[in-house]
A = this chain, B = another copy of it.
Amino acid sequence: MTTEQLVEQIKHKKSFLTVGLDVDLNKIPKHLLATEDPIFEFNKAIVDATHHVTVAYKPNTAFYEAYGIDGWKSLKKTIEYINDAYPEVFTIADAKRGDIGNTSTMYAKAFFEDMNFDSVTVAPYMGKDSVEPFLSFEDKHTILLALTSNQGAFDFQTKEVDGVTLYKRVLETSKEWKNSENLMYVVGATKAEYLGDIRKIVPNSFLLVPGVGAQGGSLSEVCKYGMTNEVGLLVNSSRGVIYASNGEDFAQAACIEAEKLQQQMKDIMTDAGI
């Protein structure tokens, strides 16, 4: 998917909501456990109930790997279902991969070709030649970790590197990489006040923003500091939407929560004249 198509979808749906499909068998409704593939059935119901107000789905690969080969099958069925039923929706493999050159190419093939995701999250620690293999895929997007939403972000990311904090150096350095127009960045909502500085470095790049809701980040703060003329944000909610209920009404409850978030986003977009 091109960035233009993503922007078009955002404007059409008046939403920049990303729903994180982080499925834990201990948290999903009990009646689904009797089905052949509970993870897929859960995802399918959530996607069917929320796609009209959701612009992107983001399965975190850890939750699938934890269930071994069955988990990978569920992940593959999920991405195939989304691509078939709702091809306009952007998809994110939240995998946080990254390795030396030829190995990163293998990861890129896994997510961009075998699974046909539109994007994948990548860790920057190993530098340019670990990220550029992902960037070389046309109409695919690489979402680089910049400033994450967890406490551990303060261990290294916010430390000063030659006078500039590490996450800013990651932003600045990555802009120079080949095909950097295919880069987006992860910036946690729990650190919304940093977004102003981030926009000085990457004024137009899309930012994937986890941490609204369950982790305590504020949507209005994120938009105040981070929104561009074309929105430029993908705000993620996982638990707040998908676990809104663990009864038989779970999909309906997820729909209600997703619509609430979309309404807030619509209001913000309207106020901003987008």
Binding site for B on A (CB under 8 A): 22, 60, 62-63, 65-69, 71-73, 76, 94, 96-101, 103-104, 106-107, 109-110, 114-115, 123-131, 145, 148-157, 159-162, 166, 169-170, 173
Contact, CB under 8 Å: A98 / B123? yes
A73 neighbours in B (Cβ, 8 Å)? 69
Bound-complex Cα distance A246 to B166 (A): 44
A103 CA to B21 CA, complexed, in Å? 12
Q: How far is the CB of A45 from chain B (nearest CB, A)?
A: 22
- Cross-chain contact of A101 among B72, B109, B150 (Cβ < 8 A): B150
Partner of A128, one of B94, B151, B160: B151
Q: Are the C-beta atoms of A129 and B150 separated by less than 8 Å?
A: yes
Contact B162 A162 (CB under 8 A): no
Query: Which of A65, A115, A123, A125 is most buried by chain B, counting CB atoms within 10 A of its CB?
Result: A125
User: Besides A62-B99, A72-B72, A126-B150, 7 other CB < 8 A contacts?
Assistant: A65-B106, A68-B115, A69-B76, A96-B99, A100-B148, A125-B156, A127-B154
Q: In the assembly, how many copies of this chain are there?
A: 2
Cβ contact within 8 Å between B152 and A156: no
Complex-state Cα separation, A100 to B190, whole angstroms: 13
Q: Is the CB of B127 within 8 A of A125?
A: no
Task: Report A214 CB to chain B, min CB distance, Å.
Answer: 11
Using A123-B96, A153-B127 as known contacts, say yes or no to A159 and B162 having CB atoms under 8 A apart. Answer: yes
Chain B residues contacting A129 (CB-CB under 8 Å) are 150-152
Q: Which residues of B contact A109 (CB under 8 A)?
A: 66
Known contacts A62-B99, A96-B98, A106-B65; A145/B125 CB under 8 A = yes
A127 touching B156, Cβ below 8 Å: yes
Residue contact B161 to A66, C-beta cutoff 8 Å: no
**Nearest-CB distance from A183 to chain B (Å)?**
14
Complex: A185 Cα to B156 Cα, angstroms: 17
What are 21 A-B contacts defined by CB distance under 8 Å?
Answer: A22-B103, A60-B103, A62-B97, A62-B104, A62-B106, A65-B110, A66-B106, A66-B110, A68-B115, A69-B69, A96-B126, A125-B145, A126-B145, A127-B153, A127-B154, A129-B152, A130-B150, A156-B170, A156-B173, A160-B161, A160-B162
Q: Are A62 and B154 also in contact (CB < 8 A) when A67-B114, A125-B123 are?
A: no
